Amino acid sequence: MEYYNYIKSLHLIFVVTWFAGLFYIPRLFIYHIEASEKPSPEKEILTKQLKLMTKRLWYIITWPSAMLCTLFAIWLLILMPGWLQQPWMHVKLAFVLLLFFYHGRNHLIFKQLQNDEVKYTSRYMRIWNEVATLVLFAVVFLVILKSAINWIFGVVGILVLGILLMLGIRLYKRIREKNPEA
Residue 11 marked ligand-binding = yes
Q: Which of 60, 54, 59 is nearest to 24 (CA)?
A: 54
Please give the model's pTM, rounded to 2 decimal places: 0.83
Angle between helices 87-114 and 42-56 (to 10 degrees): 140
Whether the Cβ atoms of residue 25 and residue 110 lie closer than 8 Å to each other: yes
Residue type at 28?
L
User: Greater confidence, 127 or 76?
Assistant: 76
Specify the pLDDT at position 34: 96
Specify the pLDDT at position 148: 56
Question: Do you find a cis peptide bond into 41, omega within 30 degrees of 0?
Answer: yes
User: How far is residue 143's CA from residue 50's CA, in Å, rounded to a whole number?
Assistant: 35
Terminal-to-terminal C-alpha distance of the chain: 51
> What letter would DSSP give residue 39?
P
Specify the pLDDT at position 152: 66
Confidence band, pLDDT 50/70/90 cuts, at residue 116: very high
Whether the Cβ atoms of residue 32 and residue 54 lie closer than 8 Å to each other: yes
Specify the pLDDT at position 165: 80
> What letter would DSSP give residue 150?
T
Specify the pLDDT at position 1: 72
Residue 107 marked ligand-binding = no
